[in-house]
Amino acid sequence: MSKLKPGEVIEDFTLYDQNLNEVHLHDLEGKKILLAFHPLAWTRGCAKHMKLLEDNYGKFQAANAVALGISIDSVHSKKAWARELGIEDTLFLADFWPHGKVAKMYGMFNEDMGVSERASIVIDENLKVKLIKVYETRSLPDIEEIFNAMGK
């Protein structure tokens, strides 16, 4: 169950991306943000999910938005996986240690499986939550719904 509510300012976090760069959520103020939680790297469904983000990278840029793929995998795993998938632009964030801290903070942690849910959190330029959607593990987000929530 999500701990977030539409309209509230999202709590800040710092995670490392696949290139070992620190990403501070609140440093992205002024941009629309998609937090794309996915259960595990190296799985077919999550690969499709992250390729969907990469395939729409230009559309995110045109919307003054950034998409961040977040899972409970290590930075090194995320780096190898991005390389394997041919991901060049989309940032993959490692919510590895403390295990799933960000997923837990937002209510996106699946305690039974020890991984994050497949979920989308859309945040506006003022860091306010616009959309919170949790999906069945095997289903993919509707990218148009995400862009609509961003107001394109």
Residues annotated as part of the active site: 46
| SS3 state at 84 | helix
First-to-last C-alpha distance (Å) of the chain? 27
**DSSP-assigned letter for residue 128:** B
Token representation of residue 47: 């690969």
Q: Cα-flanking dihedrals φ and ψ of residue 122, to 5°?
A: -100, 130
Q: What angle do CA 24, 96, 7 make, to 5 degrees?
A: 45
Beta-bridge partner residues of 93: 17, 70
